[in-house]
Chain A
C-alpha cells in the first residue's frame, strides 16, 4: 500500500486505470478470496449433508464410477425411510413441545424478573441481576448428574416435562439479561406518566412496557427456541424410551443400528432436524444477529 502510494505521483499521469485495477486486485486477493474460502468451509458440511440425503446408495458408496460432489439420480428413499419407517414424526413433535414449553416458561420468568430488576429497582437488584447472569456460566455438563438423580426422585424421569423444567436453567439467565437491556432502552417517562394517571404497576407492565419490548421478546424467544432445540446432554440423560427422545438424541442413538451405518438416512435425519431451526432462524435473522451482538456488548 505504501509502496503504491509513493510511486503513485510518478505513474499517475501515465496510467490511472492501472492503479484502479491494482486496488481492485488487492481487494480481490485480500478480501474476497479469503472470504470465499471461509464461506465455502463453513457451508460445505451442509452441502455434503444435502448431497448425501438425496443420493441413492449405489452412488453413495461408489466414488470411482460417480463423482461424489454431484448426484446423478436424486432419490427420496432416505427421507421416505426416515419419515415412515422410524418414529421421526414423534421425535419432531416431542422436540417441538419441549422447545415451545421451555421457551414460554423461561420468557414468563425472565420478563417478570427483568422488569423487577430494571424497573422496580429494589435494594440490591443489581446483585440479583448479576447472580442470575452468573447462572449462565454454569455448564450443563456439571449439572446433569445431580439433575438426573433429582429428576428420578421427582418421578419425572423419561418424561418431556423434566426437560421443560430443566431447560430454563440456561434459558432464564440469558433471556433475563437480554430483556434487562431491552427495558433499559424504553424511556422511563412513559411509565411515570402512566403512574401519575393512576395505573397500577402490573397495568404498566402489561399495557406499556411489554408492547414496547416486543422486539426484545422476539429475540429472547428465538434464542430460547434454538437453544432448547439444540440441547443434547439433558435430553440424553433424562429420556430413556426411544419414542420420547428429542430429535438430536434420537438421530444419534436410534438411527444407528448395527455396524453398518445408514449414512443416507442419518444425513436425512440430520438435515430434517436442522431444517426447522434454520427456517425459524431465517425469518428472524436480524433479531438474532442484533441480540447476539447486543448481548455481547452488555
Chain B
C-alpha cells in the first residue's frame, strides 16, 4: 500500500518544475494574478473616477485649475437654476415615454417574430441593424430626416398624401424637438428589446400553450396568463438596462439638437457635458452628473423589484 503511494508521488512530482512554475500553480497566487488586470482596470478607471466625480461635485474645479472644497455650493446653485430643472424634467420625460414606447413596440415585434416565419434568421439580423450602427451616425440620418426644408416625412405628408399644408418644423421649437428625439430613441431601442424578449419567449414551453388551448383560453388570455408572467424576469432585466441607458443618454441629443432649441432638449448628461467640458466648469458639470445617480438608483430598484417581484416572492434561486 505504502509502496504504491510512493510510486504515485514520484510519478506526479516532476523534478524539472522550476519555482516559477510551482508559483503559478499555487492557487492564491494564481487567483491574484488572474484578477489583477480586470480589477486593476476597473478600480483605476471606474471606481476611482466615480469617487473622484463625487468629490469634484463639491469643489469649484475648472479646467486647468485644481478646485477648493466648496461644500454644497454647486448644488445650491443648481437648485435655483431653471435650466437644470428643465434638464431634469426632460430626462424623466424622455426616459419614461421612450421606455414605455420601446417596450410596447418591442414586445409586439418579439411576439410577431416568435411565429413560424420564412427567413427568420435573416429577419432577426436585419432588425438588429439600428442597434449595431453607431448611434451618432444614425442620429445624423435622423437629423436629415427632421430637416425643416427637406424632411422626407414632411414631403410625404404634404406633397404625397396632402394631409398638411405646411412642412413640419421638427427641431425648431421645444415640444416638436422633444418628441422627435424620443422617436429617434425609440427607433434605436426597439431592436434590443425585441431580440432580448424574443430570447425569453423562446424559453417558454409550448406545452403550456397547448394546455391553455385545450382549456379554451383566448389569445389575450394566453398572453396575459402565460406569456407575460413567464417573461417578467427577463423583462425586468432588460428594462433596468434600458432605463439606465436611456436616462443617461447623451449621443442622440448631442448629435441631433445639442440641447437646443433654446436649451429645451437638454438631458442631464448633455447639460453636464456643456457646463463641464466646453464651459470649463468641471465642478458644476460633475455636480450635474452626480445628481443623476439617485435617479438611476431609484429607477433600477423600481424596475427590478417591481417587475422581478414574482420570481423573488416565489423564492426561486437566481439562475
Contacts and interface: CB of A to CB of B under 8 A. Distances in A.
A166 B41 CA distance: 8
A216 interface: no
Contact of B130 (A42, A144, A232, A297): A42
B50 interface: yes
Contacts of B82: none
Interface in B23-46: 24-25, 27-28, 30-31, 33-39, 41-42, 45-46
A132 B187 contact: no
A298 B300 CA distance: 17
A193 interface: no
B35 A128 contact: yes
A289 B144 contact: no
A247 to B, nearest CB: 7
A285 B249 CA distance: 26
Contacts of B117: 31, 35
Contacts of B27: 120, 122, 201
Contact of A146 (B39, B52, B251): B52
Given A112-B34, A141-B248, A251-B140, A46 B196 contact: no
Contact of A169 (B41, B129, B241, B276): B41
Contact of A293 (B24, B199, B219): B199
A48 B132 contact: no
B49 A31 contact: no
Contacts of A277: 132-134
A201 B289 contact: no
B207 interface: no
A50 to B, nearest CB: 10
Contacts of A34: 108, 112
B185 interface: no
Contact of B34 (A48, A115, A200): A115
A294 B234 CA distance: 11
B272 A42 contact: no
A176 interface: yes
Contacts of A248: 134-137, 251
B12 A296 contact: no
A270 B45 contact: no
Contact of A150 (B33, B49, B128, B238): B49
B296 A139 contact: yes
Contact of A113 (B35, B247, B276): B35
B134 A296 contact: no
Contacts of A292: 192, 195-196, 199
Interface stretch (B71-79, B119-127, B174-182): B119-127
B26 to A, nearest CB: 9
Given A165-B41, A168-B45, A289-B195, 5 more contacts: A149-B56, A230-B136, A252-B254, A281-B132, A297-B199
Q: Which 8 A-B pairs have the closest CB atoms?
A: A293-B199, A139-B248, A141-B269, A113-B38, A116-B34, A109-B37, A146-B52, A146-B53
6 contacts: A38-B109, A113-B39, A141-B268, A169-B46, A202-B30, A296-B199
